[in-house]
């Protein structure tokens, strides 16, 4: 047996990547290099809010889906938009090679915009496991980080390919003007390409012909309108781009396999892309084929012997596997919040019923979901029982508290505290809508009713006095714990009337209070009444 000579050894030219630090995205810390600190490459990922980023004195707008890559020497500074809540993650990572070559980091000269929901889900799961490593195996952090880098590599490669911006503009135009009389020639002229080139490119990049995709968009819209009770067939036809109901019915049956009437009456296979819609279905006695669950909701269901359907981990999939998991569920309808960037990509699978967030409260969302799944009677019965509890709770509060006064709900992160309104839930919908408490003047003056929340430094919580203070979530990072402990022992905090009157309630039940749905609202009501009607000592 011959030995391998040194000339046959493969050269070591590979780069290896290792995350060394992760922190929540805020204006105070972006991992900027310091003289006494080793320099690392950085990835900035935004999954909520909007603002601007100063990179070596150049300004860039960033929002949900923005990703910025920079080397170790770059200076970064965040600037929030007025009243914006910017959420995301800063990852610091090290590049090494085994043979001493200069390693190569990921590079892109400007922020990547509108990155895939799959990339954001990977970043969210990575942040969770970094914060609480015990929730996963020992190599999950490295695995997720590499999956994130692979996804970023594909995004950068796609950006560097010849532009297909005109095709995206055509698709966007179709999705917003499908009720009009659209032709291939009209949109080819809009895109400044020939009709033949439009057809070839459209088929290559969407897998459908121009007319096939237009039909799909129209039929999906018709399905959504049928599910929420749109009027007669001729009216529906005009709303989605057809001249009369008979033609719509024919195209509907060709696409769906059922007539519009039969489609409305049949039981639906449901996919719910967020916990609130999953919980609404569970309250109606249904388990979705695929749904998003919190561990708290699972515990409630197990306690009540309610079967749990397929589980969709919002942060555990790449873009491709996320799409595949939904496809494998064979849904007849998908529930999602409106303006979710991933909704359009799901149109080939099933109609996406988008429920407005903030403008539609949890009762209205629950009622609409019940209408879609033909369980309006069950929803009415649920509301009747819930409202009985509200009447009973108010009667007991009249006896124990009398005048309700003001209340404020805080959710506290690692460096910021968020004051929540009833349009975001967190128990505020119960305090303000059901139990007669009022927001404070400071909250109203800062426009909490229109924005849904107020973001402040932890130390600034003392500037929002209220008769009752509720804290639903406490920080888990050491720095945040230290800041909140300093706040609780500060003279300004101790001078608050709510503190001296033992009316500060440390609930710290984040998963229960995250829910904005029937099951969570029921549990939140019980928890709030429990602490309000007993002598509560703040510690």
pLDDT at 319: 58
Q: Where are the alpha helices (DSSP H) in 192-318?
A: 195-206, 210-227, 233-240, 245-256, 260-265, 275-283, 295-303
Burial of 528 (0-12, 13-18, 19+ CB in 10 A): buried
Q: How many C-beta atoms surround the C-beta of residue 160 within 10 A?
A: 9
Under CATH, what is the fold of the domain 8-159?
Answer: Jelly Rolls (2.60.120)
pLDDT at 5: 42
Burial of 456 (0-12, 13-18, 19+ CB in 10 A): middle
For the beta sheet containing 407-412, the strands, ordered from the edge strand earlier in sequence to the opposite edge, are: 453-457, 416-420, 407-412, 468-473, 504-506
pLDDT at 175: 87
- Residue indicated by tokens 């391998």: 4
Q: How many CA atoms lie within 13 A of 538 on its CB side?
A: 20
C-beta contacts of 8-11 below 8 A and 24+ residues apart = 11/99
For the beta sheet containing 352-355, the strands, ordered from the edge strand earlier in sequence to the opposite edge, are: 310-311, 290-291, 270-272, 333-337, 352-355
pLDDT at 468: 95
| Statement: 270-374 belongs to CATH 3.40.718.10 | no
Phi/psi at 210 (5° precision):
-55, -50
Q: Which residues pair with 54 in a beta bridge?
A: 59, 77
Burial of 538 (0-12, 13-18, 19+ CB in 10 A): middle
Determine how β-strand 270-272 pairs with β-strand 58-63. unpaired
pLDDT tens for the chain, 539 residues long, are 444 444 444 455 677 888 998 888 764 445 555 544 456 888 988 887 777 877 767 788 888 888 888 876 677 777 765 555 678 888 988 888 776 666 666 777 777 776 766 778 888 888 888 887 766 677 888 888 988 888 888 777 656 655 467 888 888 888 888 998 889 998 888 788 888 888 988 888 888 899 999 999 999 999 999 988 766 898 999 999 998 889 999 999 999 998 998 888 888 899 999 999 999 999 999 999 999 999 999 999 999 999 998 988 766 555 567 888 899 999 999 999 876 567 788 889 999 998 887 778 999 999 999 999 989 999 999 999 999 999 999 999 998 888 899 999 999 987 889 998 888 888 999 999 999 999 998 888 888 877 788 889 999 999 999 999 999 999 888 888 889 999 999 999 999 999 999 999 999 888 999 899 999 999 999 999 999 987 544 33
Q: Give dist(CA 437, CA 428) in Å, integer.
A: 9
Phi/psi at 124 (5° precision):
-65, -40
Determine how β-strand 15-24 pairs with β-strand 468-473. unpaired
Rounded to 5°, the CA angle 234-208-202 comes to 110
For the 165-265 domain, the top CATH level (class) is mainly alpha
Q: Give dist(CA 244, CA 234) in Å, integer.
A: 5
Domain with CATH 2.60.120.280 in the chain: 8-159
pLDDT at 379: 95
Helix axes 165-177, 195-206, angle to 10 degrees: 90
DSSP-assigned letters across all residues of 7-30: GGSPP---EEEEEEEEEE--SS--
Region 380-532: CATH code? 3.40.50.1980
Q: How many C-beta atoms surround the C-beta of residue 508 within 10 A?
A: 12
Q: Give dist(CA 186, CA 262) in Å, integer.
A: 35
CB 218 within 8 A of CB 224: no
Domain with CATH 1.10.10.60 in the chain: 165-265
Q: Give dist(CA 443, CA 436) in Å, integer.
A: 16
Contacts of 397 (CB under 8 A, 6+ apart): 404, 435, 436, 529, 532, 533
Q: Give dist(CA 48, CA 65) in Å, integer.
A: 8
Of the candidates 391, 386, 402, the one whose C-alpha atom is nearest the C-alpha of residue 533 is: 402
Q: Which pair of tokens denotes residue 436?
A: 């007669």
pLDDT at 521: 95
Domain with CATH 3.40.50.1980 in the chain: 270-374, 380-532
Q: What is the 3-state secondary structure (H, E, C) of 485-523?
A: HHHHCCHHHHCCHHHHCCCEEECCCHHHHHCCCHHHHHH
Give the DSSP H/E element, type plus range, for residue 40. Answer: none
CB 123 within 8 A of CB 47: yes
Determine how β-strand 41-48 pairs with β-strand 87-97. antiparallel
Q: Give dist(CA 237, CA 242) in Å, integer.
A: 5
Phi/psi at 454 (5° precision):
-130, 135
Q: Give dist(CA 256, CA 223) in Å, integer.
A: 9
């Amino acid at each position: 047996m011959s030995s391998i000579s040194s000339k046959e050894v493969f050269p070591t030219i590979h780069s290896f990547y290792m995350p060394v630090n992760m922190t929540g995205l805020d204006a105070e810390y972006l991992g900027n290099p310091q003289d006494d600190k080793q320099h690392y490459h950085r990835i900035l990922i935004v999954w909520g809010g909007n603002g601007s980023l100063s990179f070596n004195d150049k300004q860039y707008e960033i929002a949900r889906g923005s990703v910025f890559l920079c080397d170790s020497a770059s200076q970064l500074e965040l600037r929030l938009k007025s009243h914006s809540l910017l959420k995301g993650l800063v990852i610091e990572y090290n590049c090494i090679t085994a043979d001493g070559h200069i390693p190569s980091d990921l590079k892109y000269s400007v922020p990547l915009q509108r990155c895939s929901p799959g990339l954001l889900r990977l970043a969210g799961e990575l942040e969770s496991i970094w914060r609480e490593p015990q929730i996963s195996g020992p190599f999950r952090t490295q695995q997720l980080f590499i999956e994130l880098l692979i996804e970023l590599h594909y995004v950068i490669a796609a950006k560097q390919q010849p532009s297909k911006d005109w095709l995206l503009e055509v698709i966007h135009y179709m999705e917003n003007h499908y009720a009009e009389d659209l032709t291939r020639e009209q949109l080819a002229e809009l895109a400044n390409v020939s009709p033949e080139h439009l057809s070839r490119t459209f088929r290559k990049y969407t897998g459908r012909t121009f007319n096939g995709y237009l039909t799909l968009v129209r039929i999906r819209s018709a399905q959504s309108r049928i599910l929420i009770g749109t009027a007669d067939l001729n009216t529906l036809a005009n709303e989605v781009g057809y001249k009369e109901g008979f033609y719509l019915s024919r195209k509907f049956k060709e696409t769906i396999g059922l007539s519009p009437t039969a489609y409305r009456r049949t039981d639906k296979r449901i996919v719910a892309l967020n916990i609130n819609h999953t919980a609404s279905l569970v309250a109606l006695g249904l388990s979705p084929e695929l749904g998003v669950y919190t561990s708290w909701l699972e515990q409630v269901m197990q306690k009540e012997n309610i079967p749990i359907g397929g589980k969709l981990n919002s942060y555990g999939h790449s873009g491709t596997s996320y799409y595949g998991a939904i496809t494998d569920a064979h849904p007849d309808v998908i529930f999602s919040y409106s303006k979710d960037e991933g909704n359009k990509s799901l149109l080939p699978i099933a109609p996406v019923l988008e429920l407005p967030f903030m403008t539609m409260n949890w009762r209205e969302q629950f009622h609409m979901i019940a209408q879609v799944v033909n369980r309006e009677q069950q929803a009415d019965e649920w509301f009747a029982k819930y409202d009985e509890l509200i009447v009973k709770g108010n009667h007991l509060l009249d006896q124990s508290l009398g005048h309700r006064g003001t209340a404020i709900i805080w959710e506290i992160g690692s460096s910021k505290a968020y004051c929540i309104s009833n349009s975001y839930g967190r128990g505020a919908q119960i305090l303000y809508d059901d139990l007669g408490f009022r927001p404070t003047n400071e909250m109203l003056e800062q426009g909490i009713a229109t924005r849904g929340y107020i973001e402040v430094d932890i130390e600034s919580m003392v500037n929002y006095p209220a008769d009752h203070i509720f804290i639903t979530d406490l920080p888990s990072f050491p720095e945040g714990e230290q800041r909140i402990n300093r706040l609780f022992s500060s003279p300004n905090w101790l001078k608050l009337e709510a503190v001296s009157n033992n009316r500060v309630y440390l609930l710290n039940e984040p998963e229960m209070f995250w829910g904005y749905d029937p099951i969570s609202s029921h549990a939140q009501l019980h928890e709030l009444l429990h602490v309000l009607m007993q002598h509560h000592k703040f510690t």
